[in-house]
């Protein structure tokens, strides 16, 4: 079984971390309720325009040219290189995508005649509403399937603990994007689903060791068993999180502005997911009264009588 010494008493901090998580959840829910998410055109509808220049352009100058125009609420960012920019335009009443792209090109040409229109994509409000609804349903279905899977593989108390950790991760990550007013689009939704998978994997590793220790370790309380299990999986958890974060940080700095939101969501999600697998999933399962008898194999009645000579 390896070393049974408890190096870190994780569960001793569970009351403090629970209070901290509740405060974070309240702040996240309050922000989501009052100011919501800064939804991208994937969800709200609008026009996406890609333009190219023969030389590098200054985004601040382009944003200044939009201040007193119909494009004052437009989002501008580099797309791949400093010669190409991506412009996200909210829905404009009475204008179709052709009118919007023509007006935009005229405005940009006033500062640089060599500007070239590369791509124009229009997302209708109805499509945006459908994507918003389908994205929310996808997350709910994922959580439901996870609850069934964990209940089948372990026990219902573990299932509740795992899903509580995942809901904690999703709500706080959404709250973080709401408070920081970062743009929230389909790529961020994809990052959230990836965070659910990462956090679940971390939690399953801990729960697997907890189940094993409940069956093999004697004369230990449930709190001790969870502490032993968390210590045994700590090095794996830290190494996985560290190597994942290295890749994500490199992606943030070297991947370009277009995927900043995606990499920020994953970085924050990995950190909060690592925390929740220790301080949310385990304490919730403990609070539900998990004990050794719940995880012992069920003996079939009459089996001992059949084996007697």
Residues 248 and 270 in one domain: yes
d(CA 294, CA 291): 6
Prediction pTM value:
0.80
Q: What is the pLDDT of residue 61?
A: 85
Residue 81 sits at φ, ψ, to 5 deg, of: -125, 170
For 20-44, write each residue's pLDDT tens digit: 999 999 999 999 999 888 888 778 7
Q: Which of 89-98, 248-257, 289-298 is modeled with the greatest confidence?
A: 248-257
Q: Which of 123, 138, 172 is the last residue of a domain?
A: 123
Q: Which of 96, 123, 150 is the last residue of a domain?
A: 123
DSSP per-residue string spanning 148-197: HHHHHHS-HHHHHHHHHHHHHHHHHHHHHHHHHT-EE-HHHHHHHHHHHH
Residues 167 and 291 in one domain: yes
**Are residues 150 and 207 in contact, defined by beta-carbon separation less than 8 angstroms?**
yes
Residues 22 and 141 in one domain: yes
pLDDT surpassing 50 at residue 1:
no
For 210-255, write each residue's pLDDT tens digit: 888 888 877 788 888 899 999 999 888 889 999 999 999 999 988 7
Give the range of the structural domain holding residue 277, as residue numbers without chain letter. Answer: 10-38+127-295
Residues 107 and 199 in one domain: no
Residues 6+ apart with CB under 8 A from 144: none
Residues 30 and 61 in one domain: no
Residues 6+ apart with CB under 8 A from 4: 217, 228
Residues 140 and 213 in one domain: yes
Judge whether 1 lies within some domain.
no
Residues 184 and 265 in one domain: yes
Q: Higher confidence at residue 99 or residue 308?
A: 99
Q: What is the pLDDT of residue 293?
A: 66
- Containing 88, the helix (H) or strand (E) segment is strand 81-89
Assign residue 106 the CATH number of its domain: 3.30.70.3400
Residues 79 and 22 in one domain: no
**Are residues 203 and 165 in contact, defined by beta-carbon separation less than 8 angstroms?**
yes
Residues 99 and 241 in one domain: no
How distant, in Å, are the alpha carbons of 136, 148, 236 from that of 9?
A: 37, 30, 17
Total structural domains within the chain: 2
What the block records as the tokens of 26 is 């309240």
Q: What is the pLDDT of residue 216?
A: 84
Q: Which of 123, 144, 176 is the last residue of a domain?
A: 123
């Amino acid at each position: 079984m390896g070393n049974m010494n408890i190096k870190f008493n994780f569960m001793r901090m569970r009351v403090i971390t629970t209070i901290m998580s509740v405060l974070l959840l309240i702040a996240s829910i309050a922000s989501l309720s009052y100011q919501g998410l800064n939804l991208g055109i994937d969800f709200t509808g609008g026009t996406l325009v890609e333009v190219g220049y023969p030389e590098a352009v200054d985004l601040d100058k382009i944003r200044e040219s939009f201040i007193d125009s119909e494009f004052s609420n437009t989002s501008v960012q580099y797309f791949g290189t400093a010669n190409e920019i991506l412009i996200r335009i909210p829905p404009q009443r009475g204008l179709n995508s052709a009118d919007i792209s023509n007006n935009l090109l005229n405005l940009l040409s006033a500062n640089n005649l060599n500007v070239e229109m590369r791509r124009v994509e229009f997302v209708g409000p109805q499509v945006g509403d459908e994507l918003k609804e389908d994205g929310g349903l996808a997350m709910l279905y994922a959580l439901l399937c996870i609850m069934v899977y964990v209940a089948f593989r372990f026990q219902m108390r573990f299932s509740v603990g795992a899903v509580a950790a995942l809901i904690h991760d999703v709500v706080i990550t959404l709250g973080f994007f709401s408070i920081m007013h970062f743009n929230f689009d389909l790529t961020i939704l994809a990052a959230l689903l990836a965070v659910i998978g990462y956090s679940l994997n971390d939690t399953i590793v801990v729960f697997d060791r907890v189940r094993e220790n409940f069956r093999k370790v004697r004369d230990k309380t449930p709190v001790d068993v969870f502490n032993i299990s968390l210590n045994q999986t700590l090095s794996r958890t830290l190494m996985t999180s560290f190597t994942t974060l290295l890749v994500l940080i490199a992606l943030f700095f070297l991947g370009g502005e277009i995927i900043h939101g995606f990499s920020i969501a994953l970085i924050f999600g990995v950190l909060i997911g690592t925390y929740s697998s220790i301080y949310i999933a385990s304490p919730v399962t403990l609070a539900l009264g998990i004990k050794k008898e719940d995880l012992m194999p069920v003996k079939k009645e009459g089996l001992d009588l059949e084996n007697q000579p």
